[in-house]
Amino acid sequence: MIRGIIVKQLTKAARLRGPGNVAGVLRAAAALAPQITIKHNYSSKAQPKLTSELYPSVKRNPNYKKLANEDIQFFQSILTENEILQANDKEDLAFYNEDWMRKYRGQSKIVLKPKSVEKISQILKYCNEQKIAVVPQGGNTGLVGGSVPVFDEVVLSVSNLNEIRNFDPVSGILKCDAGVILENADNFLAEHGYIFPLDLGAKGSCHVGGVVACNAGGLRLLRYGSLHGSVLGLEVVLPNGDILNSMHSLRKDNTGYDLKQLFIGSEGTIGIITGVSILTPPRPKAFNVSFLAVNSYEDVQKVFVKAKKELLEILSAFEFMDDKSQQLTKHHLAGVPHPFEESYPFYILIETSGSNKDHDDEKLEKFLESAMEDGLVVDGVVAQDETELRNLWQWRELIPESSQCQGGVYKYDVSLPLKHLYSLVEAANARLSEAALLGDAPKPVIQAVGYGHVGDGNLHLNVAVREYNKQVEKALEPFVYEFVSSKNGSISAEHGLGFQKKNYIGYTKNPQEIKMIKDLKTHFDPNGILNPYKYI
Amino acid sequence: MASKQLRILVPVKRVVDYQIRPRVNKAGNAIETNGVKFSINPFDDIAVEEAVRIKEKNKSLVENIHAVSIGPAKAQDILRNCLAKGADTSTLIDSKDVQLEPLAVAKVLKEIVDKQKTNLIIMGKQAIDDDCNNTGQMLAGLLNWPQATNAAKVEFVDSDTVKVTREIDGGEETISGTLPMVITTDLRLNTPRYVGLQNLMKAKKKPMEKLSLKDFSNVDVQPRLKVISMEEPKPRAPGVAVKSVDELIEKLKDVKAI
């Protein structure tokens, strides 16, 4: 994503200078440089510890076969040289073994990147027979350690399945391979006047299949609803190698159980999604973004109610951020102007999108004026052009990266009733202070910050740390889960369970539900070869 | 300058937003403007910011900042943003769909300069739609004023002497001049501020004079150039991945790059 921003800025510089002036372009780029100063220490530089060392209580299941030469020969018999990556002196497979946050590190020695669904089917059939554990992997942008191996599982990446299969410009139904990068899918749709009904910070890396497998929520759920509604069909390879195909893409089909729903949010535990058929809405022609400052979380809720009523059909995002999250981001995004010189307790980003700019402008303006007059909004800015619009979004979208760039981050993504949403952040800060873990170096915790999708009752609690540390983890877990459970919330709103939250499902689901989930897992994957040690 | 008061004029242009990829229309003679987002020309935004900063730094020096735009009625949106950012007054000259060439724009602006008793003009060095980079120079010529183009830094030495650091190929050039003068802005001059809500509301009460090209019947705005055709640049050939340095050198030799 960061790379994307830099390229765009340079293109902008080039265009501003006009063609045929190389020196000028370079100078313009230099002139823009302050705007794009982003410190490139995404995460703790030290290689993460092996997951197996960090969590000694998790043991390798001895029922799984250890990869032997004959297995590799089998893979080589169906895959070409380019479709197999093996660990050796030059290649440590860190890209596939480590998660994006560098919190988990598996020990896989082989990555398979098949170029066809049939090959995936053959591989799974073989692994199932041989009881070889497999981790399905997409863009590896997951936040709960769900997409990386824990021990020596075979990594099966769908990144080579990356073709758009079909698009119907009348119905807006897109059919594509699972490995298509979300942003590429969206750019393709943009050419046809449509939009992908999901948007999230990792769009430049994450895969369409991956977002379906973990039922990602993202920034526009408020407008376009969850993937359970927009996905019309899936192609899934089951653990025994069978290919389940429901790509027929009917909007209405009440014949039998809606099987595809089981795989949406299954995190690769009962099948590998290889194809997605999804209903895409027409792309709005006009976007507006406004960034507001308010004095309390109470006022955040009031502005939300007002926005829903007064902006109604054009409201497409309503995000809130606390001041601490902005302080962290300012540190990280040096050079991009923050909308406000002063600090306020809370900030709101409102996006509207519609078909008529004049109509939207008028509506938004009226809403903002009356919110100011009511004293709800104490300060605010509106983007006057595309660049400002993107810059304002950055102050929300780059919080996750900013919270981890000084060492690491513990991320909690929870659903809570709106009135309790922010109290979790306050409680977490209080607890970390009491435990004397929060403060200036050498204390491990920099700050617990809160932001998220008010529209969906979804809070992101990010605990920015200087280093990953067992004491911090113990202070936070199961404290956070207990807190959420006591307020009848969910311990995973959109990130999923993965490895991180496997043991905590009981805080949200009751024993009956858990039993049914386990039964289903056993039904589809009796040998338990898919994505083991996770989910349930 | 007897009064020691600055009257700044900032001409601004409404152009296709620079994040939007411009496309040639079906007739192949102009940029497609239907359903395209328009915003203030980024260099003009920098000019507005500079005028406002000068005023903020030297309150007693600046009497008025006047923003002017020649364009369709919609250009009032960008003028209103200018007022919100700190311009005091504004003029919209409605040109309907007529695209004026730089010389015509400079002539119309000269009339405004006379009317506004302007003694400092700050404007973008070029508009990103046609990239002409002419208007500032032509206006200075018509007025017979000194000009400092491509400004990267503007400093007041005293109330009527300005030192301007210019972007030039291979470095910078610092020049100074006395008012009245024309300054055109380059990218590095400043980073424009956001439009604040409160100021946007206040801006509604600030004056916006509305004129049309008919009010400038003494000015010859007839086009002198004819666009014969407009084409998009040829798409770049896709790149190739090479496996070794030897292959790279071979390929480079094939295309006579080395």
Would you say residue A91 lies in a domain? yes
Most confident among A51-55, A227-231, A455-459, B168-172 (mean pLDDT): A227-231
Two tokens at B7?
A: 């009257």
Q: Give CA torsion, residues A365, A370, A375, A376, to 10 deg.
A: -70
Q: What's the mean per-residue pLDDT of chain A?
A: 88
Say if residue A215 is in the same domain as residue A341. Answer: no
Say if residue A218 is in the same domain as residue A83. Answer: yes
Give the gap in angstroms from C-alpha A385 to the nearest C-alpha of chain B. 6
pLDDT digits (tens, 9 = 90+) for A170-218: 999 999 999 999 999 999 999 999 999 999 888 999 999 999 999 998 8
Beta carbons of B47 and A415 less than 8 angstroms apart: no
Cα–Cα–Cα angle for A304, A425, A42, rounded to 5 degrees: 100
Beta carbons of A200 and A216 less than 8 angstroms apart: yes
pLDDT higher than threshold 70 for residue A363: yes
Cα–Cα–Cα angle for B177, B181, B182, rounded to 5 degrees: 115
Two tokens at B242?
A: 């090479």
What are the sequence ranges of the domains in chain B? 6-230
Domain of A13 in residue numbering reads as 2-36
Q: Amino acid letter at A530?
A: L
- At residue B4, the pLDDT reads 55
User: What percent of chain A has pLDDT above 70?
Assistant: 91
Would you say residue A108 lies in a domain? yes
Q: DSSP label at A388?
A: H
Which are the contacts of A290, defined by CB distance < 8 A and separation ≥ 6? A349, A350, A364, A368, A380, A381, A382, A383, A392, B197
Number of domains composing chain A? 4
- Is the bond leading into A442 cis (omega within 30 degrees of zero)? yes
User: What percent of chain A has pLDDT above 90?
Assistant: 75
Mean pLDDT value across residues B203-212:
94
Contact flag B195-A384 (C-beta cutoff 8 Å): yes
Nearest by CB to residue B81, choosing from A13, A357, A384, is A384
- At residue B160, the pLDDT reads 86
**Region class of A7: left (phi > 0), else alpha (psi between -120 and 50), else beta:** alpha
Which chain B residue is nearest to residue A373, measuring alpha carbons? B198
- Return the CATH architecture of domain B6-230: 3-Layer(aba) Sandwich (3.40)
Say if residue A345 is in the same domain as residue A453. Answer: no
Would you say residue A483 lies in a domain? yes
Mean pLDDT value across residues A317-330:
94
Res. B1 pLDDT band, cuts 50 70 90: very low
- At residue A16, the pLDDT reads 38
Which chain A residue is nearest to residue B128, measuring alpha carbons? A16
Mean pLDDT value across residues A346-368:
94
Q: Which of B106, B108, B112 is nearest to B89 (CA)?
A: B112
Res. A46 pLDDT band, cuts 50 70 90: low
- For B7, B125, B181, the CA distances from B139, given in Å and listed in that order, are 16, 12, 10
pLDDT digits (tens, 9 = 90+) for B30-87: 888 888 899 999 999 999 999 999 999 988 889 999 999 999 999 999 999 999 999 9
Would you say residue A321 lies in a domain? yes
Q: Which residues of B touch A292 (CB under 8 A)?
A: 197
Beta carbons of B29 and B230 less than 8 angstroms apart: yes
Q: What's the mean per-residue pLDDT of chain B?
A: 93
The reply to whether A284 touches chain B by the CB within 8 Å rule is no
- At residue A91, the pLDDT reads 79
The ipTM assigned to this model is: 0.80
Packed helices A357-373 and A297-311: angle between N→C axes, nearest 10 degrees: 140
Which chain A residue is nearest to residue B40, measuring alpha carbons? A385
CA separation for the pair B79, B85 (Å, rounded) = 10
pLDDT higher than threshold 80 for residue A25: no
Residues in chain A: 536
Mean pLDDT value across residues A41-68:
83
Could you tell me where the beta strands, DSSP code E, fall in B140-205?
147-158, 161-168, 171-178, 181-185, 195-196
A 10 A CB-CB count for A39 gives 13
φ, ψ of residue A199 in degrees (nearest 5): -140, 135
Say if residue A342 is in the same domain as residue A420. Answer: no
pLDDT higher than threshold 50 for residue A148: yes
- Mark which of A352, A374, A398 sits at the end of a domain: A398
